[in-house]
Amino acid sequence: MEYRRLGRCGVKVSELCLGTMTFGHGADEEEARRMVDMALARGVNFIDTADSYGGGQAEVMVGRALGARRRQVVLATKFFNPMGGGPNDSGMSRVHIIHALEDSLRRLQTDWVDLYYVHHVDVQVPVEEMLRALDDLVSQGKVRYIACSNYPAWRLADALWVSQTNGWNGFVAYQPQYSLVVRDVEQELVPLCLAKGLGMVTWSPLAGGFLSGAYRPGQHRAPATRSDEDWAFPGRYFAGSADQTLAELLQVAAQAGRSPAQLALRWLLQRPAVTAAIVGARTAVQLADNLGAAGWQLEAEVCARLDRVSALPDRYPESMQKDMRARRDQAVRMPG
């Protein structure tokens, strides 16, 4: 297992992060415990959950499974989604942030959260209110680092600027959807994270199982999967070339003697700005396959094949500025 710094901050996390969205939804407590045990035994020191996963049950299961091993892991959770029917039971107001963290700490059986994510954008709350509340939680020692998920680039840049100008703790990580068939983040968010030193911790790196080997090109629904249950399958975000990408992945995997899931994860782990990929599973058997993506490097030729088939068309203004380095160099007339 490789350990990487989370952006510019000092903490190091495993390149694979155990995702727990299935805990309480597909994985019962016994299976969840098996997966936590397996992940820690294989070198994973990074666990991702959220207050809304399983209506709070995922956090409960994680807390019970970790027990006395709490300090062995970098534990991340999230807030935003409704945790009740009241007007202040969701969002990113100061009131909800404080209540949400208190509830998460109780469910996780811990005194602190290592990484606390804003799960989504709340357009009804000033970003200053959210960031000051999070800064207070860091000052109190209840949160070590803060981060966000699913933010557009301009909102992420704005939040970083507000934190910096006010002397508050700022985001150290960003959690986007990113996979071979969802590469939109490369156009603005990857360059922003590289420029500002944020670590990317990616969700759905196997596109809801589409890249796991359970599907064939042209097949977007499979029995006993998320697509079959209409639950957390991100097919609507897939690029138009998704089936061609899957076909190439299956072919490369067969030639390399690796599972499609391992190749798809390894490709992602070698992308710029990516610190870790969140791997979630319903069973320990599925998780074991995913963990096989750690500790090795994908050959340059294989990376290039997967890059080409999954590449998105350039958008404006990137399309206009793409060759600017060469244009600048060619504009210089050297003496003689």
What H or E segment, with its residue span, contains residue 187?
Answer: none
Torsion angle of C-alpha atoms 236, 238, 241, 245, degrees rounded to 10: -140
Residue 53 designated active-site: yes
* Residue that is written with structure tokens 């155990």 in the block: 18
Residue 81, pLDDT > 90, answer yes
Q: How far, in Å, are 233, 234, 249 from residue 309 at the CA level?
A: 22, 20, 9
Catalytic one among 53, 145, 151, 215? 53
What local confidence, expressed as pLDDT, does residue 321 receive? Answer: 86
- Per-residue pLDDT tens digits for 184-197: 999 999 999 999 99
How many CB atoms are located within 10 Å of the residue 303 CB? 17
Instruction: Pick one of 3.60.90.10, 3.40.50.720, 3.20.20.100, 3.30.70.1060 as the CATH number of 3-330.
Output: 3.20.20.100
Q: For the chain, where are the E strands, in sequence order?
A: 3-5, 12-14, 16-19, 46-48, 74-79, 113-118, 143-149, 171-175, 199-202, 274-279
Say whether pTM exceeds 0.85.
yes
State the Rg of the chain over Cα. 20
Greatest distance between any 2 Cα atoms in the chain: 76
Domain positions in the chain: 3-330
- Per-residue pLDDT tens digits for 125-171: 999 999 999 999 999 999 999 999 999 999 999 999 999 999 999 99
What local confidence, expressed as pLDDT, does residue 332 receive? Answer: 85
What local confidence, expressed as pLDDT, does residue 231 receive? Answer: 83
